[in-house]
């Protein structure tokens, strides 16, 4: 009997967090985004990033939104304070995931010395839209 193939639209992939770092981009220059490279293995349906603070750069972020099907972030180290449209400020600490609805206006208010987050998005590629204060 032939072996059954478990994955039909994915490939096995391991990423190293110290390879492929994108330093402070766009509206969030105080974060670096080591690209995990998983978007290519998942046909760009999903993207995954490890997000870390750039040492020495604190930040009050610009208000922005993203047009996504899904955006989930989970703080894995330290803490970050975000402001969400209609929800106010929230301190997210290690083990505190957040599901951000599409197009919700948000920004970072502050972060501790060495925060780290894992972010999962769908699709993998998206644009951030700067928003006016509301």
90 falls within a domain: yes
Q: Residue 56 has what pLDDT?
A: 76
State the residue range of the domain holding 71.
23-130
Number of domains in the chain: 1
* CATH number of the domain enclosing 111: 2.60.120.10
16 falls within a domain: no
Query: Which of the pair, 45 or 25, is modelled with greater confidence?
Result: 45
Per residue in 50-60, pLDDT tens?
888 887 777 77
3-state secondary structure 12-79: CCCCCCCCCEECCECCECCEEEEECCHHHHCCCCCEEEEEEECCCCCCCCCCEEECCCEEEEEEEECE
4 falls within a domain: no
56 falls within a domain: yes
13 falls within a domain: no
3 falls within a domain: no
């Amino acid at each position: 009997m032939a072996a059954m193939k478990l994955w039909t639209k994915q490939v096995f992939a391991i990423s190293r967090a110290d390879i492929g770092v994108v330093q402070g981009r766009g509206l969030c220059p105080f974060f670096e985004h080591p690209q995990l490279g998983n978007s290519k293995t998942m046909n760009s349906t999903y993207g995954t990033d490890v997000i870390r603070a750039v040492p020495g750069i604190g930040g009050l972020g610009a208000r922005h939104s993203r047009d996504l099907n899904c955006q989930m972030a989970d703080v894995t180290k330290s803490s970050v304070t975000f402001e969400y449209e209609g929800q106010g400020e929230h301190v997210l600490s290690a083990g505190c995931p957040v599901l951000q609805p599409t197009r919700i206006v948000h920004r970072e208010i502050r972060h501790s010395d060495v925060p780290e987050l894992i972010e999962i998005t769908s699709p993998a590629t998206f644009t951030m839209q700067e928003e006016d204060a509301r």
